[in-house]
Structure 1
């Protein structure tokens, strides 16, 4: 079955490359979608707790069987043939019970698999319905799930519809709010590899120009700051020089007054 899928997808992409217009393809990440839905996470946690209880029960039963086996081996020389047979029958019975219990809980049709399927199925239905809406409204040829079976060895982020799927699911769960057309309108226009590379180059050039403008603005601001600092330093030096002259003149006048006073006192 997987081989058929691989051949199908290989043929699909070969056709996409050789076709005149190519195919319009997108994908969704189911694991990511499930992780973003609180109801699923809560129910999944509860199921995991229950599964842990089942595993603990299995370990307890297995330990009981191991203890009986050890007891039988230790006491075998002292037991009669009938008692040995009784203990072996009991061990065999408990082992069969354990096998049945393990299959009941974790088998192919066991409780864990069934409840897990019941847990995921409603969300998968919502995802499927949302994919139908998007596929029909945006004319996609194929929408894949990003999984090992789909053989998506590489998937460009621009083709990921997971966020839009989540918006549609949340809208449907609330029963009102944003219109489907408004949500789907958020999907970027489908781009070929060449167009995506061209747009990416334009974005890089735009970012480079913005960085250059930012650098120019920062250089201009730095230059203005240097001029302000230089002007402030010049004013500070001028103030200190003027203050030094005033202090010097004051000291000279004081010396003159002291000299005159001393001369008068000596006369």
Structure 2
């Protein structure tokens, strides 16, 4: 689940650039951080993961029920197809096709539902982090705060992550035990198993 959260965070591209004009006598001061890293250190991340897992489990249970019904009817059809009247056989095949289509539609809807649930949980936390980053920039005199994913090289004291975490009420010393990611990797999308193509015995 956390891989999906990482992808969503990366999609926000929350790089807090200043919008004010730099004066000639003001030295350029650039800091950097990683929104994904900060999110993973926050207590909210565990709650998000838990809620997504619960939601996913419910969807998977419903999918398994639908698939079990399809499998049972498919097996019954295959067992008796040879002796069925054509009208009955055609009706059973139509029923199986509708069930198969229903399963595929549920898979698509479940994926969309999970993504929407994830977004609704992550968005408020991202907004909270973004606000903290902007406050840290102003309070510490940074001209720009950039994402460390776009950083090729820079001084260690330019990393504002510990300051942001402290502002968010997270102990930086404990947070630093978790390695900070250099870049986000595309998350593997969780997709329910594809349904078995029904067989027709005529």
Q: Residues 142-161 of structure 1, C-alpha deviation per residue, up to 9 Å, x if partnerless?
A: 32334xxx445667654332
TM-aligned CA distance change 1:77 to 1:36, over 3 Å: same
Q: Structure 1 stretches of 5 or more lacking a match?
A: 1-20, 172-267
SS in 2 for 1:140: coil
Residue aligned with 2:146, SS: strand
Pair 119,76 (structure 1): closer, same or farther in 2 beyond 3 Å: same
Check whether the contact 1:34–1:41 (CA below 8 A) recurs between aligned residues. Answer: no
Q: State the partner residue of 1:160.
A: 159
- How many residue pairs match? The answer is 145
Q: Secondary structure at the match of 1:170?
A: coil
- Superposition pairs for residues 17-166 of structure 1, below 5 Å? 24-106=29-111, 110-146=112-148, 150-152=149-151, 157-166=156-165
Q: Could you list the runs of 5+ residues in structure 2 that have no partner in the other structure?
A: 1-25, 171-202
Q: Which has the higher contact order (CA 8 A, sep 6+)?
A: 2
Q: What is the rounded CA distance, in whole Å, between the counterparts of 1:99 and 1:77 in structure 2? A: 28
Distance 1:151 1:139, change over 3 A: same
CA contact (8 A) 1:44 1:119 kept: no
SS of the aligned residue for 1:112 comes to: helix
Which of the pair is proportionally richer in helix? 1
CA deviations 1:74-124 (Å, max 9, x no partner) are 322111111111112211222222223222221xxx221112111111111
Q: Distance in 1 between matches of 2:106 and 2:69?
A: 14
Distance change (3 Å), C-alpha of 1:24 and 1:84: farther
Change (3 A) 1:156 1:73: farther
C-alpha contact 1:26 1:161 (8 A) present in aligned 2: yes
Residue matched to 1:185: none
Give the Cα separation in 2 of the matches to 1:138 and 1:25: 11
Q: Distance in 1 between matches of 2:60 and 2:108?
A: 12
Q: Secondary structure at the match of 2:169?
A: helix
**Max radius of gyration: which structure?**
1
Deviation at 1:57, TM superposition (A): 2.1
Give the root-mean-square deviation of aligned CA atoms: 2.8
Distance of 2:101 and 2:28 partners within structure 1 = 55
1:73 Cα deviation (Å)? Answer: 2.4
Deviations 1:52-76 (A, max 9, x none): 2212321332233233223322322
Cα distance in 2, alignment partners of residues 118 and 51 from structure 1: 15
